[in-house]
Chains A and B, each alone.
Chain A
């Protein structure tokens, strides 16, 4: 069954969209990633204009994150205090990112920048996570207790805050900076940024894996809601109908994903996410290096 999208101005198969939303929802619930890094490229493949895909993707992430965070709130695995600090940085970063995005759009290089960002960030993070998880898995097999990393410089900074849920007493500056950089990237790449924030929270801030996912989802809700607003006002590229179909699939998937996530071990979860991140990275890198089928590309006229 086909459905015509009023803003994207294309007709697509409704079940395909629904399935895509569902798949991304499952990932969202399991890993705490918004899934934007998967949904955006898939929408491109379906023939939806990139600008609409990016803006609508962030709207869909709002829904699946709300659904996911409610499940985490009930299990008390959300560090609201940490989330708020991340959020403040995130909003500032997103505003910066939207401004940068519009600047580059005029130069015709935004597509390349987005792809390069994806390849570089997915590559670094996926690689690091994979190595780290393998090491942790080996340690746990040997029966030794995993030791948490402590960054000396993090402890020397002012504005210390106590994050009880995470069991941390650190400066507010590193989380705010993490939020800020993720905010910039999320606006440029059209993603929630969970796939960057989750590892940053684990490896940079030293938060326990258990609270990382809920906290990341909490922060993503507000940043993506802000991005949706910014896109709706500045470029009018949010397609409600597209978002609606995606998010119906997404919220159901998120519930299933959260339930699945509690049954799996944290280390296995991390290896699975790392493999997925590397896979998407590889596919995008291939597109950059291989000769494209058509050397010509259409841009919007002025």
Chain B
């Protein structure tokens, strides 16, 4: 009896004894005037006290999520021959950027139930509770949002792209496009075996405008009147300057 219990304990132990640790190639992304997207390298290792259990194999999933905000999705309809915005669904929370990478094809990485619980895939990361009266297919609005953000390069999925060596070391590079917004980006690493999440680790990265970008942005928010005047003065000066320059050019 005791021996049977010990055996059970031993079998159960590896599942809880494997832990994931991670690191990032950078802890902030600076948006400068020549910002053209950025790449973040996410790497890490599996910490364990026991033998490596290779069957069923260990898998790694990495997600990067931008700031989460509500979004209104409109659907067009033909009215009197013209396409107009007819129905709208307010999606409660959608990440502005979302990338998922895994070390295996998706169905081998995580089960449907675990995906639902940990909100790993793009579909699960978007929260949409309740559509307004009269809209029965609210899912198609979420699909529309995913399609648009995917086309803009803001939602990305890379199956089988995480480099995972000896079931211990992993790394993946995630590229963020130039259209990303400012904010705190959450990076998660999930360790799974036969679709179940064994361990996870989260970290964050700050995306911030710097220098001129920062200064102009702050001015426009804190001193809008001054900012407006500045833009008009620049415009008038440029217009006058060009006129004067051309006159000088012609007379010489």
Binding site for B on A (CB under 8 A): 1-4, 6-7, 9-11, 47, 59-60, 62-68, 70-71, 74, 108-109, 111-112, 116, 225, 228-229, 231-233, 236, 238, 240-241, 243-244, 247-248, 251-252, 254-255, 288-289, 291-292, 294-302
Shortest CB-to-CB span from B146 to chain A, Å, is: 10
Is B76 a contact partner of A60 (Cβ separation < 8 A)?
A: no
Shortest CB-to-CB span from A30 to chain B, Å, is: 15
CA distance A240 to B228 in the complex (A): 9
Is B82 a contact partner of A289 (Cβ separation < 8 A)?
A: yes
B134 proximal to A (CB < 8 A): no
Closest residue of chain A to B240 (Cβ to Cβ) is A66
Residues of A within 8 A of B229 (CB): 229
Number of A-B residue pairs at CB separation under 8 A: 193
- CB-CB under 8 A for A3 and B75, given A232-B224, A252-B242: no
Interface size, chain B (Cβ < 8 Å): 62
Residues of A contacting B: mostly? helix
Shortest CB-to-CB span from A48 to chain B, Å, is: 11
Is A243 a contact partner of B242 (Cβ separation < 8 A)?
A: no
Contact of A7 among B81, B141, B217, B232 (CB under 8 A): B217
- CB-CB under 8 A for A60 and B235, given A66-B243, A251-B242, A301-B90: yes
Residues of B within 8 A of A255 (CB): 242-243, 246
B48 proximal to A (CB < 8 A): no
Is B85 a contact partner of A297 (Cβ separation < 8 A)?
A: yes
Closest residue of chain B to A7 (Cβ to Cβ) is B220
Shortest CB-to-CB span from A9 to chain B, Å, is: 6
Which of B29-37, B105-113, B163-171, B187-195 lies on the face that meets chain A? B29-37
Is B239 a contact partner of A243 (Cβ separation < 8 A)?
A: no
Is A240 a contact partner of B227 (Cβ separation < 8 A)?
A: yes
B144 proximal to A (CB < 8 A): yes
Residues of B within 8 A of A254 (CB): 239, 242
Closest residue of chain B to A255 (Cβ to Cβ) is B246
Is A65 a contact partner of B90 (Cβ separation < 8 A)?
A: no
B17 proximal to A (CB < 8 A): no
B178 proximal to A (CB < 8 A): yes
